[in-house]
Each structure stands twice: as structure tokens, then as C-alpha cells.
Amino acid sequence: MCSICGEISYDIPPRRSVIGLCSDTMRHRGPDQRGAVLAGAAALAHNRLSVMDPAGGVQPMSASWQGVTYTIVYNGEIYNMDELKPMLEAKGATFTTTCDTEVVLWTYILYKEQCPTMLNGIFAFAVWDGDTLFLARDRFGVKPLFYSLIGDTLLFASELKALLAHPEVSHVVDAEGLWQLLFLSPVTLPGSGIFRDIKEVLPAHAGTFSREGLKLCPYWKLTAERCGDTAAEAAAHVRELLTDAVTRQLGSDVPLCTFLSGGLDSSVVTAIAAAHTDRLATYSFEYEGNKKHFHRTLFQPQGDDMFAIRAARAMGTEHTVLTVPTEAVADCLMDAVDARDFPGQADIDSSLLWFCRQVKQKHTVALCGECADEIFGGYPWFYRPEMLYRDFFPWVHDARVRADLFRPEWARPDDGYAMMSDVYRQTLAACPLVDGEPEEDRVARVATWLSVNYFMASLLERKDRMSMASGVEVRVPYADHRILEYVFNVPWSIKFAGNTEKALLRNAMDGKLPDDILWRKKSPYPKTHNPAYEQLVTERLTAQLKRSNSALAELLSPEALKQLLGSKGGTWFGQLMGKPQLLAWLLQFDRWVEQYDVTFAV
């Protein structure tokens, strides 16, 4: 994995020094090598995390065909390289490396705009041919790609901070950006970069920038179809797809491991990986004091530690339990803001950042179990109609809790809520459906559509930013488009057989995992239950608000803050975000406004 950035300017030649400044902000994504090239109207830069062919995969990379030189900057991993390479060679491609960057480059050279449709993997890349820039992003947006149009100039980069480092990009956040932070964050609207001048290349989109401007369009869409497979046939097909997805992603020229929580999703990935590798390394994550302070809830019925160890023993892996100190969770909050470029998921972000830093000491590549819940129906809104049939996103339990903490004349919570509710209704209306299908299948499609386009997108963003900030590449086997294409159309009666969430996935892996893990009820990514953490963030927030330059102190409602500090709080987002996370989010918000020199135009 890497970072990419570039500037295309036909009238005023781009400056290598400026694009170098932008690229410098993302050195964490590619600590092993860096490169830049100035080619006519284009300046391209790259930071590399070496995973495949460390000696040969230096970027920017160029190749010539029929008198035209093509130059690529690429961030990602392609998992069907072995199938593509001989096909490309048969058409005249010549390879000088064993890395996938060269395969992507030649796929574009020979197939042009069809290139991204031929790739199985996670990617964001740009190819310059001396006149036109081609941009593409993977189907689920696992790899980030942002851009700014400043007059007739196009800027693009892997992270917001790189674009914000450009002297022509403003740091203004308008009302839409603010309302995303107050009502949806860490989720953001598809295509949004929070800042007014920055947009996001949508997942599954590609296109060109030329003298005629920027033209982006989808190259892949999820479609709704009838599926006549039996439960046994569906389980067999899912097992085949999962095995193929995981084994494809085991290729690496640097040490590889898996994240193993002891839950179903990560255990499936680890079991398949362990069967195809020698002495696989695994990691599980725990918090200081959780054994003593854990509180059972509907959504987090039990801790993970004993199940992770049980799974590791059953699979014969070299297992490590990483336990994060409570103070480190708080200390990493500000670094997590810098990694994500806006206040996100508080200590759920900061703890993952800490864990990835520890993993990096021995491993550079990891496989994880992210995305299974969104694809196979693991969240309560898939089977609790009262959560889905609301006028707002079902994972947001208290939509106004953050907005109502701020001065109403500034936050305008009524307007913000109305806008985001309208976005929710539009999203529901856009879901592909099959005429005449049973109501339970229609509801499941809508829940999947919402989850994949919003909730999963946010989790993938979190995983990318926190891991790449640590120089770790995390692969996501469930985010193989072939799996979603199939499972999206399997009847809900099969996916929820026996009133069990993710029954299809469980039945697909029957006999491959210990029964107590195979049928274990979902437990989300862990959070700290240590009361010392809430005390820490309360003290730090109180101190921060007393600073003379605290932007947050000027924007908050004193009475609303007083009520929050005196309350017991409750879960307001997803399954993990309670009062301590809200206090931590406020800390992050204040740091973000100051560190990123944010100006609000609301």
C-alpha cells in the first residue's frame, strides 16, 4: 500500500516542489520509498510501502506502447494478477518486475477504460499519457482517492491532508460538511471530502481529466436478481468464494498475519488462511481493565479474549494478545484525528491505531474480518424493523446528541437533521429491488444497501487510515465484489435461517471452525469499559475548554455541556459509542479545528 497524489494543469505548469509538499504529508502511508515525476502538464508523486517485489516496484512507473509513454501512480493490491499477466503478455505487454503495479499499468495501456472492470482487488490509481489523466477507484472504496478542481487545475491525493497542504485549496467547511460531522460522523456522504473544495472519487467510479474537464462515471453497479439456489447450494458457493478470496490475498513478499478476535468473521478468514500457510501469526486486541469492568449488553454480550485464544489454539497459529493501556487510548486520540483528517470514532479509532503500531513491529500485511456483517446481515437493523423503519440512518440511535451540544444559531440542528433525513430517504429510493419479491427480502436488500454504502464505507475508511498511519497494509477478503454480488440476491430465509444472524456464512463454514465459535453471537470490535478512561477524557476536555484559543469553547452551549458531563449517557452511534466516546469526540473536534486551521462557512 502507498499514497498517491498529483496535479494536472494545462495552462500553468505544475510545480514539482508543491506536489512534493503535498506528498510529504503522507509519508506514513509509504515509508519505504518515494518518487515524483514532472511530465508536461502533470506532476505525480508516490510514497511506497513495499509489499510485492520491493526492489522492482518503484513508482511513478512508466511503460511505452505504440509511441505513447504511460505513467502510473498506484495504491492497492490486485489479487488476479496471475490470470491477467499471461493474457497481457499475449497482447504484447512486456514485464520487467513481479509487482502488481506493472500489471495494472499494462491493463490500462491495452484495455483503457475497461481496465478497472478487469481488476479483482483494492486500488486507487492514476495514469498519465502525456495529454489525459485516467483515474479509478475500487468497487467498495477500500483505497481512498480525493480530488479538488481549482479553476482548470485538477489535484488528487490519497488523503485530505495532502490536498489541504496545497496553497490553492481552502480549509473551509460549509454547512453540509458541518452537518455530516454533527449528525453522521464517522460516516460521511458518498463523494464528500468534508471540506468545501474537496470531493471524493466515488467507489466503483473511473474517468478522465483533460482540457475538456473531469468526467467520472461508474464502471460497476450492484444489481438485484432472483436467486433459485437451495440453502445447501448457497452455502457451498459462499464457501468456494470465501476460500478463493482469502487464498488470493495471501500473497506477500513481507511478513503477513491476520487479526483474530475470536468472533465468526475473523475466525473464518484465519481458518482459511491457516490451512494455506505455514504457522500463521494472529493478533487479538484487548483493553487494560476490561476483564474487571466489562458490562454485558445486547450488542456486546461477551468479551473476546477467551474466544480468540480458543480459536488460535484450534487453528494452530502463533497468537499474540495486544492489551492497550487506558492512558494510551486517550493519548492516541489526537493522532487518530491526524490519521483520519477529521474527528471520527474517538477511541475506537485511537485504539486501532495503537494496535496497528504494535503489529507493525513484526508484520507489514494483515488480513481482517471487516465487511462480513454488512454483506451477510449481521447487524440488528437487518432483522429489527423498528430500527430500519425510521426517518434516519438506523445505526444512529440519537441523531441530535452532538448537534444539540453546540450553539443552535451556529449548528442549526433543525436544518441539518432535515437535510440528512432527506439524504436517507433518497438512499432508500435508490436501492435496486426485484419486483414482487417477498417483503423480508426487500427489507434485507435495503439494509444491505444502506450498510454497504455508508456504514461499511466508514469502517473501511477507519481501517485504511489507522493501519496506513502505522505503515501496515490491511486486506479485507470479504470486500471481494463477487461475494456481495452473490449474497445480495440470496433469499433472507437462507441468510437468517433459524433466526440466526449470518446463518449463511455459518453454514458455509460448518465443520471448519469449533462449534462454539461458529455459532457464537456477534460481538463488535471491543471498546474500553474501564471507568478510568471516562475520567481521563473528562479531565482533558475540561482543561482544553479553558484554553484561550479553544474553538470548541466558543461554539458549545455551556448548559448542554454541563448536562452531558452530569449524565450517565447512553449509546448514540452504532454499538459502541457512549458518553466516554462523545467526550473524546469533542476533544478530537477541538484539536481538528485548530490543527487543520478550519474555517466554517455555515
For 343-392, the pLDDT digits (tens) are 999 999 999 999 999 999 999 999 999 999 999 999 988 988 788 788 89
Is the pLDDT at 400 greater than 50? The verdict is yes
Which residue reads 474501564 in cell numbers?
Answer: 530
CB-CB contact of 291 with 303 (8 Å):
yes
Strands 42-48 and 33-39, by their bridges, are antiparallel
User: For residue 282, what are the β-bridge partners?
Assistant: 258, 319
* 57 in any annotated domain: yes
> Are both 67 and 168 inside the same structural domain?
yes
Q: Which of 497, 518, 539 is the last residue of a domain?
A: 518
> Are both 99 and 238 inside the same structural domain?
no
> Are both 211 and 237 inside the same structural domain?
no
> Are both 214 and 273 inside the same structural domain?
no
* 185 in any annotated domain: no
Q: Let me know how long the chain is.
A: 602
pLDDT tens digits, 4-27: 999 999 988 888 889 999 999 999
What is the set of active-site residues?
Answer: 2
C-alpha cell at 197: 473544495
pLDDT tens digits, 411-432: 999 999 999 999 999 999 999 9
Whole-Å CA distances, 324 to 173, 328, 350, 352, 462: 34, 7, 10, 10, 18
> Are both 210 and 243 inside the same structural domain?
no
Cα 444 to chain centroid, rounded: 22
Q: Rounded to whole angstroms, how far apart are CA atoms 602 and 590?
A: 17
Q: What is the pLDDT of residue 544?
A: 92
Q: Rounded to whole angstroms, how far apart are CA atoms 477 and 248?
A: 9
Q: Rounded to whole angstroms, how far apart are CA atoms 16 and 189?
A: 32
Q: Which of 518, 536, 570 is the last residue of a domain?
A: 518
Share of the chain above pLDDT 70, in %: 97
* pTM score, whole prediction: 0.95
> Are both 98 and 163 inside the same structural domain?
yes
Of 210-224, 267-281, 545-559, which range is least confident? 545-559
Q: Rounded to whole angstroms, how far apart are CA atoms 148 and 161?
A: 12
* 422 in any annotated domain: no
Q: Rounded to whole angstroms, how far apart are CA atoms 30 and 345?
A: 24
Q: Rounded to whole angstroms, how far apart are CA atoms 40 and 514?
A: 60
Q: What is the pLDDT of residue 414?
A: 97
Q: Which of 463, 494, 518 is the last residue of a domain?
A: 518
Which residue reads 460538511 in cell numbers?
Answer: 177
Whole-Å CA distances, 228 to 224, 232, 486: 13, 12, 12
User: For residue 47, what are the β-bridge partners?
Assistant: 3, 34
> Are both 327 and 214 inside the same structural domain?
no
Q: What's 45's domain CATH number?
A: 3.60.20.10
> Are both 98 and 69 inside the same structural domain?
yes
* 582 in any annotated domain: no
Which residue reads 483528517 in cell numbers?
Answer: 341
* 417 in any annotated domain: no
CB-CB contact of 155 with 210 (8 Å):
no
Buried b (16+ CB within 10 A) or exposed e, 423-432: bbeebeeebe
CB-CB contact of 14 with 28 (8 Å):
no
> Are both 199 and 268 inside the same structural domain?
no
Over the chain, what is the mean pLDDT? 93
Strands 256-259 and 68-78, by their bridges, are unpaired
* 545 in any annotated domain: no
CB-CB contact of 209 with 154 (8 Å):
yes
Q: What is the pLDDT of residue 296?
A: 56
> Are both 280 and 384 inside the same structural domain?
yes
> Are both 65 and 152 inside the same structural domain?
yes
Q: What is the pLDDT of residue 226?
A: 95
| 3-class secondary structure, 127 | strand
Q: Rounded to whole angstroms, how far apart are CA atoms 26 and 40?
A: 24
Q: What's 456's domain CATH number?
A: 3.40.50.620
Whole-Å CA distances, 79 to 99, 122, 257, 281, 507: 11, 8, 17, 21, 26
* 401 in any annotated domain: no
Helices (H), 276-412: 290-293, 305-315, 326-331, 333-340, 346-359, 372-376, 385-388, 408-411
Look up residue 352 and give its DSSP letter. H
Q: Rounded to whole angstroms, how far apart are CA atoms 426 and 317?
A: 46
* 531 in any annotated domain: no
Q: What is the pLDDT of residue 1?
A: 65
pLDDT tens digits, 299-315: 555 556 788 999 999 99
How many structural domains compose the chain? 2
Domain of residue 206, residue span:
2-172+195-218
Residue 90: exposed, middle, or buried by beta-carbon count in 10 A (0-12, 13-18, 19+)? exposed
> Are both 154 and 276 inside the same structural domain?
no
